Amino acid sequence: MAEERWSVAQAATHFDELLDQVITTRKPIFIDGERRSAVLISIEEWNAIQGELRLRVLSNL
């Protein structure tokens, strides 16, 4: 599946829509600027990533 990409201007104009979308779909949205980029994910996805990283770190101790 292709990544969904938005420009900074589009993301700023439609930020509430983007929030709803990442929460509903649980898929990241990539935001591209001229000099830098970012990824928007839901807090649920962030927490899942953090939990997985903690498990991996603990399993390596």
Looking at domain 4-59, its CATH architecture is 3-Layer(aba) Sandwich (3.40)
What is d(CA 35, CA 40) in angstroms, rounded to the nearest whole number? 17
The domain spans of the chain are 4-59
Q: Is the pLDDT of residue 1 over 70?
A: no
Q: Which residue has the higher pLDDT, 49 or 60?
A: 49
What is d(CA 61, CA 50) in angstroms, rounded to the nearest whole number? 17
Unique residue bearing structure tokens 């993301």: 11
Task: Locate 19 and state its tokens.
Answer: 């929030």
What is the predicted pLDDT for the residue at 19? 96
Is 0.75 surpassed by the pTM of this model?
yes
What is the predicted pLDDT for the residue at 60? 81
Q: Is the pLDDT of residue 59 over 90?
A: no
Query: What pLDDT, in 10s, does the model give residues 11-43?
Result: 999 999 999 999 999 999 999 999 999 999 999
